[in-house]
A and B are shown apart, each in its own frame.
Chain A
Amino acid sequence: MTVARFWRENESRYNLIGTKCGNCGRLYFPPRSVCPVCHRKSLGKMEHFHLDGKGEVLSFSIVHDAPSQFELQKPYVIAIIMMDEGIRLTGQIIDCDPADVTIGMKVQATIRKVGEEGASGIIHYGYKFMPLR
């Protein structure tokens, strides 16, 4: 059972914690240990950064052919969200009719089950997006 691989990232998946380069100020999600722009100048200077959770839809797709663990939810909407902070995340859009999703739609992050390893495995929680109220 893959326990540690997902546990390690709980902070980021639950609370949208990424990193900010202490050298140039660029934001990254998920967290990075080195800034791709500053390279070695950023080592040891990557700080935790908390995304607010609001953004808009850059692109989306309604998934019909789903892997076994998403069987109960299909068809579901997967999207790339451009967060207000200027960086992008990939996540599901829920709490609305797939037919109502549009590019540019404003969304906010919430927490949901994102997967589980069968009936006896660990449940993974993480962000999904719903229309901004």
Chain B
Amino acid sequence: MEVGIVSYGAYLPRYRITPQEIGRVWGTDGEQMSKNLLILSKSVPSPDEDVITISIEAARNMLRRCEVNPQDIGAIYVGSESHPYAVKPTGTVVAEAIGAGPNLTVADYEFACKAGTAAIQTCMGLVGSGMIKYGVAIGADTSQGAPGDALEFSASAGGAAYLIGSEKVIARINKTCSYTTDTPDFWRREGQCYPSHGGRFTGEPAYFKHILAAAKNLFGVMGTKPTDYQYAVFHQPNGKFPVRVAKQLGFTEQQIEVGLLTPFIGNTYSGAVPLGLASVLDVAEPGQRIFAVAYGSGAGSDAFDITVTDEIKELRRERAPTVKELVERKKFLDYATYAKYRGKIRMKEGAE
């Protein structure tokens, strides 16, 4: 049975803010931060958007492109670290809003930035085992960084949805490997507004270790090397880490270019690799091969070997906006409006 991606959809909020504007308020050299992180701007959700609305938009875009009946969806998993509820799943609202269910299973996932790819893996298993016909895996976030903290310059919002199945597969997932350890590089305790991180510890022992390990596992299992792939997508907490890890693995800048979005939209956390992959699928041709590795703090990496099929020509990609179109649709905000939208200003409770 061929298991893979049957359709996909993406969504980005239209607001943006620059590192310069954030730095201006906190007395940090925003220009320098922009260069350090290789981030020109990040996406900001509107006050009436959240992971639920982003997931629904992405899933609806996904369904617009194919002819699948939502009633045939057997599972929906939404991965995020900014689900609107701590208890009450995002997935059930998504199911209702796309006309799926009620005869399906749903759960929300959390694993920092790799919750969306974990969802893809789960759907692969359910489809591959014959338990369901189609599964939907979504990675979406409206992540927050503490005011003035380095993460505030990069934490952004966005998401992408994947329809996993075995019929009319547009991109076959040949293999997925993961590498997971107990590594406390970045975390948020229950009840806390903002995450904490281990500073430079988030680099080599966290991001790089896990991505390199998962990637090497995948190369080993598949017997492949970087030149076998046309595209590579890596988790991208800033514009620099993915470039470095790509180089370390032997990929070229050209291979990662299409899937590298952080410089324009910031780090969409669970949405990062799903969006990067969507960006590739927007332009990929039959026969092309994609190497995708997500990373989630805590920590773990999910790697995927994907081959685009002829079926991608049948997919009505034009029925939904491309990632590029979503990136280009933007309106810049000042810090005060951004803080208001992100709920960073302490409001008074209740009507007068």
Contact = CB atoms under 8 A, between A and B. Distances in A.
Q: Do A and B bind each other?
A: yes
Interface of A: 10-11, 14-15, 67-68, 71-73, 94-95, 110-114, 118-119, 123, 125, 128, 133
Interface in B41-68: 46-50, 52-53, 56-57
A125 B93 contact: yes
B48 A14 contact: no
B321 to A, nearest CB: 8
B48 A112 contact: yes
A6 B228 CA distance: 53
The 3 closest A-B pairs by CB, nearest first: A112-B48, A68-B351, A14-B97
A113 B341 contact: no
A132 to B, nearest CB: 13
Given A14-B97, A72-B47, A94-B46, A125 B347 contact: no
Given A15-B99, A125-B93, A113 B14 contact: no
Contact of A72 (B53, B56, B340, B351): B340
Nearest to B93: A125
A71 B50 contact: no
Given A94-B46, A118-B350, A111 B97 contact: yes
B318 interface: no
B351 A125 contact: no
Contacts of A72: 47, 340-341, 347
Contacts of A10: 96
B349 interface: yes
A107 to B, nearest CB: 16
A114 B99 CA distance: 20
A68 B53 contact: no
Nearest to A72: B47
A133 B64 CA distance: 15
> Does more than half of chain B's interface fall in helix, strand or loop, or is it mixed?
loop
> Does more than half of chain A's interface fall in helix, strand or loop, or is it mixed?
mixed
B14 A95 contact: yes
Given A10-B96, A95-B14, A111 B53 contact: yes
Contacts of A11: 96
B128 interface: no
8 contacts: A68-B350, A71-B347, A72-B347, A73-B48, A112-B53, A113-B50, A123-B84, A125-B93
Contacts of B97: 14-15, 111, 125
Nearest to B97: A14
Contacts of B52: 113, 123, 125
B53 A113 contact: yes
Contacts of B48: 73, 94, 112-114, 128
A114 B93 CA distance: 14
Contacts of B352: 68
B349 A118 contact: yes
B351 A119 contact: no
Contacts of B347: 71-72
A50 B84 CA distance: 27
